[in-house]
Chains A and B, each alone.
Chain A
């Protein structure tokens, strides 16, 4: 019924089947929306947050999706600035994933701040010393850049592109995309860093505090590195998931392996510095404030097992797997390493957000364990559902994968 809207030379499922696929997605979306209404109408008291855990599941979710969405800026930088041509086969998907991640994070932040009507104060009364100000600046600006990067893809929709003006506009936007890719790389690098810096500057929270270089704590650089070390492989995972779902080949394995190689190299650099940083924090900084490494961990929720999982199983292991060609070039291994790397970065964002606050700095205080409640899960899943929705619509109607026709139909 809607086949005239499909990209040139590809096949898509029937509209009925597509509508059926949309039902669970819209179901989760409505559930999350209900949670969001409760938060906005009744207050943030509806969540599991409290005065000990001002940051919780939402901030963890935001930081994780922003790190995983880093595939957009980093791949854009490599393709447009360093001119790695092979990456054009996946660049559209990285832009869409980046757009979903950033716009989703902004939606969650709107719920997370107590006075969403004052969100613009970040521009009106900025505190230039706050890492969060830089985050507000860069995330909003970069989200705009991602919209600018996404628009030409929408304009290339088969029917829209028949209009001469839109065709010319899309073409011209493509021509100038290197400018936005550069701008995006700059903005994104800075706020990935500022997100890390946000924790590193907390002088009152020994779990998170780090020394650094000039005004930037080490976490600033570590967050950039961990994001570029996992963002590209997250896009690979999204592409592969879409392939399994649609039963089509969408991106050639060579491109995926290249993304794995890029991410793996960055992950190696990251792990080197991360291990160094952890060691310096444990034996250098902590004793100066009268604390020991062991005191930083508690029970199962905040146990050492999480640190070792992050550093070894989801850090060193995937880094080695991704830089070793014989492992990387086997699809199952590439995907396993990608999944491990992505879990590692999520753990990292979780512990910096929650464990930093859980650790009782005053000796007479005690550890508290934070549990997110259904409202936080529902609203976060709403963003995931929103991602599925945007990706499904994009895949169905927009020419996202330049190789799709060649890989699926021309061989037959």
Chain B
């Protein structure tokens, strides 16, 4: 299938060798995008109180984490044991598996910038997109979203909260993109030619080791342009042909080898940029 190309292609380059696995990106994402924490009790639902508890955040298969940090291991014993941390946002694929399957066009890739959208009020919650995504980048609202008392005061006015029963995912902090474009317009510059750093995601901004770099992959003036082309860079599951817009960097071969499957007798890892 043909890959949809855009003049602007927002993307990320994540240096795995710089990532300490601190999880700040996950927290930043959570706060920026009003992602509901999991609360065991629902004080507003008496039926729930009488019948069954909701999941708390210990059930990692039910939590909403648009950005998740995976721990990779080289599976060797001490003293050769090594770990690496791989932050995983939505890959905003050029050839997304999720978009063509949605029966109601609740997710699309049609906006300049190449970010895969998610339209919450249209999503019917069939979860077909979740079944389609091999990166597990999509999350379902299994329960009504609730914030513990007081925490709701800290909700961001820029991101809409989602109801129960719809799918959500990383949008590269889309409201920040809108803000950056508005600012450019106000300053009289071209909103379609933002300077490097004018639009940045919460995870990239908060990362203490600057492991995440964000920018326009098509713009030579943006850092990611060169970084993505680096010999150290690779993408997750390139062989599936989804053309992700998120790149990873590492000097360690064993980490790179975990970026794709190499057991089918088709050679070792390579810098294949699609």
Give residues in A with beta carbon < 8 Å to B.
Answer: 37-38, 41-46, 49-52, 54-55, 112-115, 118-119, 121-122, 124-127, 129-133, 135-136, 198, 201-206, 286-292, 295, 356-357, 361-365, 368
Partner of B139, one of A51, A295, A357: A51
Partner of A126, one of B104, B163, B259: B104
B100 touches A201 (CB 8 A): yes
Q: Which residues of B contact A37 (CB under 8 A)?
A: 47
Chain B nearest CB, measured from A72 CB (Å): 24
Q: Which residues of A have CB within 8 Å of B132?
A: 202-205
Contacts of B257 in A (CB 8 A): 363
B86: which of A201, A357, A364 is its contact (CB, 8 Å)? A364
Instruction: Report whether A127 and B165 are in contact in the complex, using a CB–CB cutoff of 8 Å.
Output: no
Instruction: Select from chain A the residue with minimum beta-carbon distance to B62.
Output: A50
B141 within 8 A of A: yes
A109: nearest chain-B partner, CB-CB: B126
Q: How many A-B residue pairs have CB under 8 A?
A: 200
Residue of B nearest to A52 (CB): B61
Chain B residues with CB below 8 A from A122, complex form:
103-104, 124
Q: Are A54 and B104 in contact (CB under 8 A)?
A: no
A362 near B103 (CB under 8 angstroms)? no
- Would you give the 0/1 interface string for B61-88, flagging 1 where the beta carbon is closer than 8 Å to chain A? 1110000001111000000000000100
CA distance A45 to B166 in the complex (A): 12
Using CB atoms and an 8 Å cutoff, list the residues of chain B in contact with chain A: 45, 47-48, 51-52, 54-55, 59, 61-63, 70-73, 86, 95, 97, 100-106, 122-128, 130-136, 138-144, 163-167, 236-237, 239-242, 257-266
Contact A130 B100 (CB under 8 A): yes
Contacts of B266 in A (CB 8 A): 287-288, 290
Query: What would be 13 A-B contacts, judged by CB atoms less than 8 Å apart?
Result: A43-B143, A114-B165, A122-B103, A127-B100, A204-B242, A287-B264, A287-B265, A290-B266, A291-B261, A356-B131, A357-B131, A363-B260, A363-B261
Shortest CB distance A41–B (Å): 5
Cβ-defined partner of B47 (8 Å) among A41, A131, A202:
A41
- Whose C-beta in chain B lies nearest to the C-beta of A137? B103
Contact status B264-A286, CB under 8 Å: yes
Q: Which residue of B lies closest to A114 (CB)?
A: B125
Residues on A with C-beta less than 8 A from B51 are: 38, 42, 46
A7 to B62, CA, bound (A): 53
Across-interface contacts of B240 in A (CB, < 8 A) = 203-204, 206, 289, 361
CB-nearest residue of chain A relative to B72?
A364
What residues of chain B lie closer than 8 Å to A130, measured between beta carbons?
Answer: 100-103, 128
Query: A283's closest neighbor in chain B, by CB?
Result: B264
B263 x A291 contact (CB < 8 A): yes
Residue of A46, A124, A286, A290 near B52 (CB, 8 A) is A46
Option from A55, A136, A361 in Cβ contact (under 8 Å) with B237: A361
